[in-house]
Amino acid sequence: MNATSSVSSPDEEKLKKHFKVTRFIMEAGVKLGMRSIPIATACTIYHKFFNEICFDDYDPYLVAMSAIYLAGKVEEQHLRTRDIINVCHRYLNPGSEPLEVDSKFWELRDSIVQCELLMLRLLNFRVSFQHPHKFLLHYLLSLKNWMNRHSWDRSPIATASWALLRDSYHSDLCLRYEAQHIAVAVLYFALQCYGVEVPSTDSAENQWWQVFSVDVTKIIINNVISDLIHVYTLDTEIL
Amino acid sequence: MGEVLCISVACGACCGGTGRAISASCPGTPSVSEENHTPELTDFSDVPCPVRALPPQWYHTVQVRRIRSLRARSNSDPLQGKNLGQGLQWQRKGLPFGNASSYLNLEKLGEGSYATVYKGISRINGQLVALKVISMKAEEGVPFTAIREASLLKGLKHANVVLLHDIIQTKETLTFVFEYVHTDLSQYMAQHPGGLLPYNVRLFMFQLLRGLAYIHHQHILHRDLKPQNLLISYLGELKLADFGLARAKSIPSQTYSSEVVTLWYRPPDVLLGATDYSADLDIWGAGCIFIEMLQGYPAFSGVTDVFEQLEKIWSVIGTPTEDSWPGVSLLPHYKTEWLTLYESQPFGSIWDRLARVMGAENLAQKMLKGCPRERISAEDALLHKFFSTLPCQIHQLTDVRSIFTVPGLSLKPEMRDLFFSHQKGSHHKPW
């Protein structure tokens, strides 16, 4: 793929590349019928892999395919290599015919399996992750009961925070922050975007987010949000 | 296809090629040729000398650096032009972890759910180990149970959870190196029929619940508790093992595949098709094992059919109603008309030895509640009066300390061992 902008730094190029490949993971994941947790796991595996090793040595799309396959196993939503290959082929070559089941196909399947083994070895079998999803779900349910019902119904806080969380996987946020902190931050950001206020925030001894997570700070929340904004900036630069 | 195919095919050819080159071009050491053998570790122990002479990369087909360095070179030379001096150097430095030649296997212990288990010895420190050899299928890669077991055990360090020492990858197999524990609860009970000594049951049960409290705190369910999966050391330490079916516990909205627990130790809610189980799943299994230890035979045994199993459970705890168990009628396999409507029975009248041990009946009754939400948690069960005769320091131990580090605490000889100790083989002496 060609560089989209000649002015950006090599680091920025890398981020863009990862952005594209993780979007590939998400879209292929949706086409394969994967639930949100396995998709999140696939993205986390992908980021962790490239966090460990040099980017140029491996084809990111092969790594992505293996990450999808491995995530299916980890999260008990088993996928067939064959389906993964077909979906990914279609994604990368829109409008093309399905791949012939020939030696090339088998070689591709073997490389997915080999790459899975490589990833397991590199990540030292640490492929179970705590994702922010369950925390976010819990926070949303608690907050909903606390909030004014009308102001809650008027603004799509749940949808927005869920979308923010999903999009966060375009970068390696999941590696740099704790799951609970990401969950708090996306919720905070969503509330801010829609100008929704949590009742009696001013008079409360503790901020609402301090109730959800004892060790989160305003600085962490701000950092997560600024990283999130950067993800969306990348998005506009790529397209 | 774009870059994906080109590069990945190249990589596939490279990875595959490396393996092929290794097995095809080693005429000097024929017994290591992996093609002619089933991938068992026996191969290595049979031929200690050639194995010892091999540099580590023979078994590291997926090591990152190696693949990189191989790329530009010919695949036909397995040593890739490196001189053997490197291998010698490696030998002098001592044996590394993560290497097949660092372990010798001694005997086959059994076939697990997805692997074969061998007793082995570490050549690094002389410790006995259990080698779980998992064969990988070419089409499917690493079995998911192996991935889950390893990824979960990596994060667990506790005296009552089996310790995963090391992971070794070879071309066709994956080997997990566990600490060696000499027997399991199933064998222990078979050697001591007619029920175990209540004092020992208390120690085993405390350790079982201690292990469960720990893994549940880490948001992990075992999901496959049965006596075979509880290892027992010479000292009487109990360790949870076989996490192949275990998984990270999520929020209750998540549903899991319902085919998980061996029928005898399966709670009624799961038998009725519930998929939103949580830590309470393991508590039921632990309760069944508790009764089995005291009584000498499984609590709800001998059936193969889900409905027979349910009838058997109802005959003890009573057929559930919406009053006794809110929501039971909504479960997928719930029938409005059960064959017999049972009344709940006092456990002591069914399992007589429960009534004879202080607190045992009450604890069993709290663990074997039909309604999963009412089952006692592992953490609370540790504080139950059944354990009140144990020294109180037992509650203050750090995770990795065994309960037998508490002074004065040790397993007592079972009745059978007292009677037959002079006739039996040496392996029973430690009791």
User: Looking at the complex, does the CB of residue A217 fall below 8 Å from at least one CB of chain B?
Assistant: no
- Look at the domain B183-419 and name its fold: Transferase(Phosphotransferase); domain 1 (1.10.510)
Interface ipTM: 0.79
Q: Does any domain span residue A3?
A: no
pLDDT at B293: 96
Catalytic residue among B43, B224, B242, B282: B224
Amino acid, single-letter form, for residue B403: I
pLDDT at B357: 92
Q: What is the DSSP letter of A178?
A: -
Q: What is the DSSP letter of B115?
A: S
Q: Does any domain span residue A214?
A: yes
Q: d(Cα A78, Cα A70) in Å, to the nearest integer? A: 9
> CATH 3.30.200.20 spans which residues of chain B?
38-67+91-180
Q: Does any domain span residue A5?
A: no
Q: Does any domain span residue A4?
A: no
Greatest Cα pair distance in chain A: 69
Q: d(Cα B66, Cα B102) in Å, to the nearest integer? A: 20
User: Looking at the complex, does the CB of residue A1 fall below 8 Å from at least one CB of chain B?
Assistant: yes
B43 is catalytic: no
Q: Which residues contact B60 (CB under 8 A, 6 or more apart)?
A: B66, B169
Whether the Cβ atoms of residue B204 and residue B170 lie closer than 8 Å to each other: no
> How many separate helices (H) and strands (E) can be counted in chain A?
12, 0
In tens digits, what is the pLDDT along chain A, a chain of 239 residues?
A: 444 444 567 788 889 999 999 999 999 999 999 999 999 999 999 999 999 887 778 899 999 999 999 999 988 888 999 899 999 998 988 888 878 888 888 899 999 998 999 999 899 899 989 899 999 999 999 888 888 788 788 889 999 999 999 999 999 999 999 999 999 999 999 999 988 888 777 777 788 888 888 899 999 999 999 999 999 999 888 86
Q: Which residues contact B275 (CB under 8 A, 6 or more apart)?
A: B255, B256, B257, B258
Both A183 and A161 in one domain: the answer is yes
Q: d(Cα B134, Cα A170) in Å, to the nearest integer? A: 35
Both A234 and A143 in one domain: the answer is yes
Q: Which residues contact B136 (CB under 8 A, 6 or more apart)?
A: A117, B142, B143, B172, B173, B174
Q: d(Cα B218, Cα B323) in Å, to the nearest integer? A: 33
In tens digits, what is the pLDDT along chain B, a chain of 431 residues?
A: 333 333 333 333 333 333 333 333 333 333 333 333 333 333 333 333 333 333 333 332 222 222 233 333 333 333 333 333 333 333 334 667 767 778 888 888 877 656 788 999 988 888 899 998 887 776 778 888 888 888 888 889 999 999 998 888 877 788 999 999 989 999 999 999 889 999 999 999 999 999 999 999 988 888 889 998 999 999 999 999 988 666 544 333 333 444 445 688 989 998 888 888 889 999 999 999 999 999 999 999 877 778 888 889 999 999 888 888 999 989 988 887 766 788 889 999 999 999 999 999 999 999 999 999 999 999 999 999 999 999 999 999 999 999 999 998 999 888 777 776 555 444 544 44
**CA B19, chain centre distance (Å):** 31
Determine whether B5 is exposed, middle or buried from the number of CB atoms within 10 Å of its CB (0-12, 13-18, 19+).
Answer: buried
Both A185 and A206 in one domain: the answer is yes
Local structure of A142: helix, strand or coil: helix
Range(s) of the domain holding residue A148? 132-238
Question: Domain boundary at A122, A148, A178, which?
Answer: A122
CATH homologous superfamily of domain B38-67+91-180? Phosphorylase Kinase; domain 1 (3.30.200.20)
Closest chain A residue to the Cα of B140, Cα to Cα = A113
Both A144 and A102 in one domain: the answer is no
Amino acid, single-letter form, for residue B229: N
Both A17 and A73 in one domain: the answer is yes
Q: Does any domain span residue A234?
A: yes
Q: Does any domain span residue A210?
A: yes
pLDDT at B422: 56
Whether the Cβ atoms of residue A101 and residue A91 lie closer than 8 Å to each other: no
Q: Does any domain span residue A127?
A: no
pLDDT at B146: 85
| DSSP assignment of B362-429 | HHHHHHS-SSGGGSPPHHHHTTSGGGTTS-GGGGS--TTS-GGGSTT--PPPPHHHHHHTTTS-GGGT
Tell me how far CA of residue A99 lies from CA of A32, A84, A91, A94, A231, in angstroms.
Answer: 17, 12, 12, 12, 33
User: Looking at the complex, does the CB of residue B251 fall below 8 Å from at least one CB of chain A?
Assistant: yes
Closest chain B residue to the Cα of A80, Cα to Cα = B140
Both A107 and A162 in one domain: the answer is no
> CATH 1.10.510.10 spans which residues of chain B?
183-419
Both A117 and A152 in one domain: the answer is no
Domain harbouring A193, CATH code: 1.10.472.10
Whether the Cβ atoms of residue B56 and residue B96 lie closer than 8 Å to each other: yes
Say how many domains are in chain A: 2
Question: Domain boundary at A122, A146, A163, which?
Answer: A122
How long, in residues, is chain A?
A: 239
Q: d(Cα B56, Cα B67) in Å, to the nearest integer? A: 14
Q: Which residues contact B67 (CB under 8 A, 6 or more apart)?
A: A118, B11, B14, B15, B18
* Cβ within 8 Å, pair B1-A114: no
Closest chain B residue to the Cα of A103, Cα to Cα = B9
Q: Does any domain span residue A2?
A: no
Both A102 and A178 in one domain: the answer is no
- CA distance, residue A203 to nearest chain B CA (Å): 32
Whether the Cβ atoms of residue A179 and residue A189 lie closer than 8 Å to each other: no
Question: Domain boundary at A98, A122, A146, which?
Answer: A122
